[in-house]
Amino acid sequence: MNYPDTLTYLFSRLPMYSRIGAAAYKPDLTNTEALLESLDNPEHRFKAIHIAGTNGKGSVSHMLAAVLQSAGYRTGLYTSPHLYDFRERIKVDGEVISQDFVVEFTAHIAPQIEKLNPSFFEITVAMAFDYFANQEVDIAVIETGLGGRLDSTNVIQPDISIITNIGYDHMNILGDTLELIATEKAGIIKRGAPVVVGEFHEATGPIFVRKSREKKAEISFADRERSATNWSFEGNDMTVEVTLRGTDIKDYYTVDLPGLYQTKNILTVIEAVHQLRKLGWKIEENTLKEGLKKARVLTGLHGRWEKLHEHPTIIADVAHNEDGIKQIVRQLEISTYHHLHIVLGMVKDKDITSVLQQLPGHAQYYFAQAAIPRALPSEELKAQALAEGLHGEAYPDVNAALQAVLTHAVKDDLILVCGSVFLVGEIDKAKL
């Protein structure tokens, strides 16, 4: 098979969570362990950082990878889902996995696919780990898909574990309380490996503390070690003033990811680097700052308050749950614009009402749907939004919605596309 044929096989043969939802989720590690054993356990041949969390884990993963690259380490990066190209999921030093490797790996693993009937995610995890071992990376930054305890990535013994935060998402799988969700995420905490938690919450903090004690793992909460005491924006960069808790010691970090919510993620990255240094990783302070300043450039991160067009401004953000949308609304509150237009699309298994209740009533809405079975039909989304006081029209896809916006918007308007990773991934930038 050539590369296009290989992708067709992977997408059609394997159940894919992003397309069909919970039916594709395999609630144990049996398949992943069998796949990796057939590959001579590549996960044992590189160091790793394991990252879970409801929101922010993608940004933290990319920032940390950029910092490690800047420090001179050959760095693997595994994230999901992809926006535009399947190969975005698996990178080494910012370069996507080669088409040849995808083809050869799939041909090699095909007998196991027929034998085990694994999920799409299980195969991509095995592919990533095999590629990182093949490329002889010094360290790999591994993002969970969802949850933690039963996530396919949870077969590694990382140097450190990171849990960015806990919010309501994937409740049909992880549980409908913060405590249940936190318990699943805490499953990535491993014996003797320090764990960094991005945000302390009274309901979930004790769960992480108990688990870390059980595993004899040092725990730290990033927002209890440092605070973001000020910030400013310049172009597509954000500079954050970071103060060490209990002191007047301040430092400044610039990141090429301008969303205000990145202040939380920066604190998590700084604390993670602090823990890595204690383990012997050589990351100088100027290297940390350099990596953050070039995070997007070095790793190719997209979809985080990403400016796609000017006059009018078009912003794409993959925020898709209640907490993520709350952060977007905070960003809108400090943004300057004449009129606000929001292109919104969601998938069926999210808490739609909770998201809609966060969104501003003064915006004009353009409801759209991604080309996946999980997508909530735009007419249904329009009806649910109207019940929450949000007004707009429905369109068959994101590009039709954007064309409609652009016929009405003037140069000082702000157009935001959000609500679904898959909606953002279908934006045709050439038509903007």
For residues 268 and 199, give the distance between their C-alpha atoms in angstroms, rounded to a whole number: 8
Q: What is the pLDDT at residue 26?
A: 58
List pLDDT tens digits, range 293-321. 999 999 999 999 999 999 999 999 999 88
Could you tell me if 74 and 136 are in contact, meaning their C-beta atoms sit under 8 angstroms apart? yes
Question: For residue 25, what are the contacts with CB-CB under 8 A and spacing of at least 6?
Answer: 17, 119, 146, 173
Q: What residue type is 177 in one-letter code?
A: T
- 350: pLDDT confidence band, cut at 50, 70 and 90? confident
Q: What is the pLDDT of residue 20?
A: 44
pLDDT attached to residue 229 = 96
Residue 13 reports pLDDT greater than 50: yes
Predicted pLDDT at 411: 96
Give per-residue pLDDT as tens, 208-264: 999 999 999 999 999 999 999 999 999 889 999 999 999 999 999 999 998 999 999
203 has a pLDDT exceeding 80: yes
Q: Are strands 226-234 and 237-244 parallel, antiparallel or unpaired?
A: antiparallel
What distance in Å separates the CA atoms of residue 118 and residue 425, rounded to the nearest whole number? 25
Place of tokens 């950082």: 49
End-to-end CA distance of the chain: 35
Whether the per-residue pLDDT at 382 is higher than 60: the answer is yes
pLDDT at 176 over 70: no
Q: Which residues pair with 241 in a beta bridge?
A: 230, 252
Tokens for 74, please give them.
């050959």
Residue type, 426: E
Residue-level pLDDT at 169 = 57
Residue 178 confidence class, pLDDT cut points 50, 70, 90: confident
Strands (E), 114-188: 139-143, 160-163
Q: What is the mean pLDDT of residues 31-42?
A: 97
> How far, in Å, CA of 251 to CA of 240, rounded?
8
Beta carbons of 268 and 162 less than 8 angstroms apart: yes
Q: Taking residues 353-381, what's their average pLDDT?
A: 96
Give percent of the chain with pLDDT exceeding 90: 84
Distance CA 188, CA 153 (A): 9
Tens-place pLDDT, residues 148-172: 888 999 999 999 999 998 876 545 5
pLDDT in tens, 87-123: 999 999 999 999 999 999 999 999 999 999 998 999 9
pLDDT of residue 24: 47
Tell me if 162 sits within 8 A of 29, measured CB to CB: no
Distance of alpha carbon 398 from alpha carbon 157, whole angstroms: 41
Q: pLDDT tens-digit profile of 40-99?
A: 999 999 999 999 998 899 999 999 999 999 999 999 999 999 999 999 999 999 999 999
pLDDT for 166: 85
According to the model, what pLDDT value does residue 191 have? 97
Would 3-299 and 306-431 be classified into the same CATH topology? no
Coil, helix or strand at residue 196: strand
* Domain boundaries of the chain, sorted by first residue: 3-299, 306-431
Task: For domain 3-299, say whether CATH 3.40.640.10 is its number.
Answer: no
Q: Is the pLDDT of residue 372 over 60?
A: yes
Residue 325: pLDDT band with limits 50, 70, 90: very high
User: Considering only 18-22, 239-243, 274-278, which range has the smallest mean pLDDT?
Assistant: 18-22
- Measured CA to CA, the distance from residue 327 to residue 319 in angstroms comes to 8
- Report the distance separating Cα 61 and Cα 72, nearest Å: 17
Tell me the two tokens of residue 229. Answer: 């005491």
Q: Which amino acid is at 305?
A: W
With contact defined as beta carbons under 8 Å apart, do 285 and 278 qualify? no
Distance CA 300, CA 309 (A): 18
- pLDDT score of 351: 87
Between CA 194 and CA 61 the distance in angstroms is 17
Percentage with pLDDT > 70 across the chain: 95
Please give the helix or strand (H or E) that residue 423 lies within, else none: helix 421-425
Range list of β-strands (E), 82-138: 90-92, 95-96
Backbone angles phi, psi at 148, to 5 degrees: 180, -60
Extended beta strands in 123-185, E state: 139-143, 160-163
Q: What is the pLDDT of residue 171?
A: 52
Architecture in CATH for domain 306-431: Alpha-Beta Complex (3.90)
Which tokens go with 410?
A: 């003037």
**Helix %, strand %, coil % of the chain (to 5):** 45, 20, 40
